[in-house]
Amino acid sequence: MQVSWLKKLFLKKEKDITNTRIMKKFLIVGLGNVGEKYHNTRHNIGFKILDEFAKKEELSFEVQKLGDIAKYKFKGRTFIFLKPSTYMNLSGKAVKYWLTKEKIPLENLLVICDDLNLSFGSIRVKAKGSDGGHNGLKDINAVLQTQKYARFRFGVGANFSKGRQSDYVLGTWSDEEMKLLPERIEKAILLIKSFGTAGLNNTMNAFNGK
């Protein structure tokens, strides 16, 4: 009887420790397309933000299954950065694989993508929502079978004529945008850190519209 009670207590503590470790692990997904021709395009802002974060913190991405992975430890948290290698329209497969592999709960997922409906450099973090016409989010929603995960939308504006949307998002930044990007990306890096340390609600309050 005594042994059984002690065994249950031990198992409970072990489970609590495991859960605590899981809660301190976050998957940060930057959406984009692989290949040099997409490197500096608006549609690849998710890749760009993670690349700049890695450069700033001297992290290295490694080619792994379904994407490039880098890990960053900060204030007792582990951030796993993922740049899917599946191309934008099939991003969901990579996201699901790494959530499962690293045992990361859905509430610790943050997906970074471009948004035509926001002016250049604008930031909007949401706890859930539709894909808004974004093919990367559309596939993630379909594969995960939910829209209830955090997404960080980075505004790229909509300075294109009718029928030229694809050309615009797959086009490179203007000279003026390139001058302004570093400050906006620095803000994005702080936002990612906040997501893992201060939580989603505090991050939305601190960064939305900034």
State the pLDDT at residue 162.
77
How far CA 148 is from CA of 10, 152, 185, 205, in Å, comes to 34, 13, 25, 18
Instruction: Give the residue numbers marked as catalytic.
Output: 43
Q: In the prediction, which pLDDT does 158 show?
A: 84
The most distant pair of C-alpha atoms in the chain lies apart, rounded to whole Å, by: 76
> pLDDT, tens digit, for every residue of 159-177?
887 778 889 999 999 999 9
Map out the domains of the chain as residue ranges. Answer: 25-207
Q: For position 3, what pLDDT does the model report?
A: 53
Residue 117 has pLDDT above 50, yes or no: yes
Asked if 27 and 46 count as a contact pair (C-beta separation under 8 A), the reply is no
Close Cβ partners of 67 (under 8 Å, ≥ 6 residues apart): 82, 83, 84, 85, 86, 94, 98
pLDDT at 101: 97
DSSP β-ladder status, 67-74 and 77-84? antiparallel
Fill in the amino acid letter for 91: S
Question: How distant, in Å, are the alpha carbons of 41, 57, 84, 134, 135 from that of 33?
Answer: 9, 23, 8, 13, 12
pLDDT at 18: 47
Q: Which helix (H) or strand (E) holds 51?
A: helix 45-57
Which fold would CATH assign to domain 25-207?
A: Rossmann fold (3.40.50)
Q: H-helix or E-strand containing 109? A: strand 109-115
**Residue partners of 119: CB distance under 8 A and separation at least 6:** 155, 157
The span from the CA of 43 to the CA of 134, in Å, is 10
Q: What is the mean pLDDT of residues 4-33?
A: 69
Type and span of the H or E element at 179: helix 175-197
Question: What pLDDT is attached to residue 4?
Answer: 63
Check whether 82 has a pLDDT greater than 60: yes
Residue 50: per-residue pLDDT: 98
C-alpha span between 122 and 156 (Å, rounded): 8
pLDDT of residue 58: 97
Q: Determine contact, residues 185/49, Cβ cutoff 8 Å.
A: yes
Angle 91-97-98 (CA atoms, 0-180°, nearest 5)?
95
